[in-house]
Chains A and B, each alone.
Chain A
Amino acid sequence: MSELRLMKGNEAIAEAAIRYGVDGYFGYPITPQSEVMETLMDLRPWESTGMVVLQAESEIASINMMYGGAGCGKKVMTSSSSPGISLMQEGLSYLAGAELPCVVVNVVRGGPGLGTIQPAQSDYAQAVNGGGHGDYNLIVLAPSSVQEMADFVELAFELAFKYRNPAMILSDGMIGQMMEKVELKPQKTRMSNEEIAEKYPWATTGKPSSRERNIITSVELDPYAFERFNNKVQAKYKQMHKEDVRFEQFQCEDAEYLLVAYGSSARICQKSVQLLREKGIKAGLLRPITLFPFPGVELEKLAGQVKGMLAVELSAGQLVRDVRLAVNGKVPVEHFGRMGGVIHSPEEVVEALEKNFLKG
């Protein structure tokens, strides 16, 4: 049965993971996301669904435990925040190189360095460009509500397994910590080892005489073979752009100015659109839900309609680069954002749009 609850975003992630039938969670504490593992340890899913939950000695260990579990064809996830995600980058590159599905939640805090525990969106570039070494990308989903924190666990796993590629839920300290009403889906049963062996013939399930041995690896020393592999991976990213771009439009039909924002910033921008419209300025909002694959085609279309775009993000300007690439000079694209854990107000966004496009 589905259930209505008032929860924090981080708690919703944990509940949704159990209900979706995740097999294993490996993590290391860091603010502002520690509630994910705390909730899991409190709920003891190993006694109900059989889900494994383990506190690792570091984020390096947690991503590599995920690597092992994902190789077995299991649904594995971890969550962390910015500094911890930086430590996971080598592991994520291996997971992508070995073509393994998994889900990583980044409840972003302000950086660089130890930075702040306040919310930020300053890990955008790391997330959408792969983050580690080599030519690869993560599937990146950006929730903007507690409900989406819960729902995107399932979506992230579905996409990760569809493409055999790691997926990231790129959240932030605001969505992770705030409480909202959330509808939790009914409990699903976890896949059995037999189902896994049948459905995922690549997994390390133990070699029976009926098949060749399965080897999970990312090493290929023959450059021509490795170029072929890279081409295959790039083809997956192309397919993602064709089939799995997700976004939401808010009052875009007649918009003359477009705000582009994701996650917590998009929530603020909805209010800004309303304030701008009250002032007689026809503003709209495009909220990318998938940051990779990015809704560039949609933005390009809107570039033919609007007079200017303003990328609004809690960073020095990372999303704005993708918007500029998408519209390719067709329309002016400006940036507004606060940094270091400061969250902009709807009024500041209004002011920024007016300053950039209407005054002067």
Chain B
Amino acid sequence: MALEVKDIIKPENLVYAKTKLLTERMLHYCPGCTHGVVNKLIAEVIDELNIQEDTIGVTPVGCSVLLYNYIEIDWHEAAHGRAPAVGTGIKRLRPEKYVFTYQGDGDLAAIGTAETIHACNRGENMLMVFINNGIYGMTGGQMAPTTLEGMKASTCPFGRDVEHDGNPLNMTSIVATLPGTCYVTRQAAHTAPAVRKLKKALRKAFENQKDKKGTSFIEVVATCSSGWKMNPVQSNKWMEANMFPIYPLGDIKDV
């Protein structure tokens, strides 16, 4: 027999709770945005690994600039694209800490391309989380390096024309070729199984730091309902149909 609500909420019947590492701040993300899910998973993994005191996060410039409001750890907010350099500085001077960067596609794959490639190539012993929503969310939906061919954005209002705008950039495949990366994977966060897989990947990436294996790089193929001008359900469907063929999910490298 199904439990009544008054019984469901009894502590002994709880099967899931908000991790204590998430603050009480209301998220500023739009409804349906992938950032919030990934923020929560990172908080859960840090909590489960019991490394709160030893973790320093680096936030980007982009929609997740205020991520430091949500997780109870020390944070450093970097300039646009420079999170891998900021992370390098932190990790080199505090090598015993767990360091991760969290960046959007404009941040990581356009303005910060050099910092991304060189941090990975040096094998900086940190985690880089890459939220690929194919658009510049924060500045109002302009074309990103990862915007798909034909996909509309405010600076390619008739759809990305590769002859004029260039091709979508697959940064994750590029960094997988670099000897400094130890773990490169592409994940999503739109279904329960996807969330479970992503969480496993995040956990593994933090553990890689303990083992000093090099750079772990996790791309999360994500939606931006506001930028894409779709509702969250349509966004997920569109992502599966259009983003996944170009950015296929799965591990690319695991050494």
> Count of A-B contacts with CB under 8 A?
126
Task: Give the chain B neighbours of A71 by CB distance below 8 A.
Answer: 76, 86, 89-90
Judge whether B89 and A217 touch: CB under 8 Å.
Answer: no
Judge whether A66 and B94 touch: CB under 8 Å.
Answer: no
- Report the bound CA distance from A91 to B72 in whole Å: 26
Check: A124 CB closer than 8 A to any chain B CB: no
Check: A332 CB closer than 8 A to any chain B CB: no
Judge whether B73 and A26 touch: CB under 8 Å.
Answer: no
Judge whether B118 and A61 touch: CB under 8 Å.
Answer: yes
Judge whether A204 and B90 touch: CB under 8 Å.
Answer: yes
Check: B74 CB closer than 8 A to any chain A CB: yes
Complex partner residue of B89 from A64, A206, A219, CB under 8 angstroms: A64
**What distance in Å separates the Cβ of B215 from its nearest Cβ neighbour in chain A?**
14
Judge whether A68 and B118 touch: CB under 8 Å.
Answer: no
Judge whether B72 and A207 touch: CB under 8 Å.
Answer: yes
Task: Give the chain A neighbours of B89 by CB distance below 8 A.
Answer: 24, 26, 64-72, 76
Task: Give the chain B neighbours of A217 by CB distance below 8 A.
Answer: 68, 75-77
Check: A316 CB closer than 8 A to any chain B CB: no
Range class of the A interface residue count = 35 or more
Question: Which residue on chain B has the smallest CB distance to residue A221?
Answer: B66
Q: CB within 8 Å of A: which of B46-80?
A: 52-56, 58, 65-66, 68, 72-79
Complex partner residue of A91 from B54, B73, B82, B90, CB under 8 angstroms: B82
Given A204-B56, A206-B56: A67 in contact with B86 (beta carbons within 8 A): yes
Interface membership of chain B positions 101-124, coded 1 if the CB is closer than 8 angstroms to chain A and 0 otherwise: 000000000000011001000000
**What distance in Å separates the Cβ of B136 from its nearest Cβ neighbour in chain A?**
17
- Report the bound CA distance from A58 to B119 in whole Å: 12
Given A67-B82, A206-B54, A217-B68: A72 in contact with B114 (beta carbons within 8 A): no
**What distance in Å separates the Cβ of B52 from its nearest Cβ neighbour in chain A?**
6
Interface membership of chain A positions 191-223, coded 1 if the CB is closer than 8 angstroms to chain B and 0 otherwise: 001000000000011111100011111110000
Question: Which residue on chain B has the smallest CB distance to residue A98?
Answer: B77
Question: Which residue on chain B has the smallest CB distance to residue A93?
Answer: B79
Task: Give the chain B neighbours of A206 by CB distance below 8 A.
Answer: 52-56, 73-74, 94, 97
Judge whether B93 and A23 touch: CB under 8 Å.
Answer: yes
Check: A322 CB closer than 8 A to any chain B CB: no
Task: Give the chain A neighbours of B74 by CB distance below 8 A.
Answer: 204-207, 213-215
Task: Give the chain B neighbours of A218 by CB distance below 8 A.
Answer: 77
Check: B88 CB closer than 8 A to any chain A CB: yes
**What distance in Å separates the Cβ of A196 from its nearest Cβ neighbour in chain B?**
10
Check: A56 CB closer than 8 A to any chain B CB: yes
**What distance in Å separates the Cβ of B242 from its nearest Cβ neighbour in chain A?**
33
Task: Give the chain A neighbours of B92 by CB distance below 8 A.
Answer: 24, 52, 54, 65, 69
Judge whether A24 and B53 touch: CB under 8 Å.
Answer: no
Judge whether B76 and A204 touch: CB under 8 Å.
Answer: yes
Check: B214 CB closer than 8 A to any chain A CB: no
Check: B87 CB closer than 8 A to any chain A CB: yes
Judge whether B75 and A57 touch: CB under 8 Å.
Answer: no
Task: Give the chain B neighbours of A117 by CB distance below 8 A.
Answer: none
**What distance in Å separates the Cβ of A211 from its nearest Cβ neighbour in chain B?**
10
Most buried by B among A65, A70, A214: A65
**What distance in Å separates the Cβ of B48 from its nearest Cβ neighbour in chain A?**
17
Q: CB within 8 Å of B: which of A31-66?
A: 52, 54, 56-58, 60-62, 64-66
Task: Give the chain A neighbours of B93 by CB distance below 8 A.
Answer: 23-24, 52, 68-69, 72, 74, 76
**What distance in Å separates the Cβ of A208 from its nearest Cβ neighbour in chain B?**
5
Judge whether B114 and A213 touch: CB under 8 Å.
Answer: no
Judge whether B53 and A207 touch: CB under 8 Å.
Answer: yes
Judge whether A57 and B94 touch: CB under 8 Å.
Answer: no
Judge whether A208 and B86 touch: CB under 8 Å.
Answer: no
Would you list 12 pairs from A and B whose C-beta atoms are within 8 A, ordered by A residue?
A: A52-B93, A61-B115, A62-B85, A64-B82, A65-B85, A68-B87, A68-B88, A68-B90, A205-B74, A206-B52, A215-B68, A215-B75
**Which 3 A-B residue pairs are closest in the complex by CB-CB distance?**
A68-B89, A64-B85, A65-B89
- Contacts A56-B85, A68-B78, A206-B94 aside, 17 further interface pairs with beta carbons under 8 A come to A24-B92, A52-B93, A61-B118, A66-B89, A68-B89, A68-B90, A69-B90, A71-B76, A71-B86, A72-B56, A204-B56, A204-B76, A205-B94, A207-B74, A213-B75, A216-B75, A217-B77
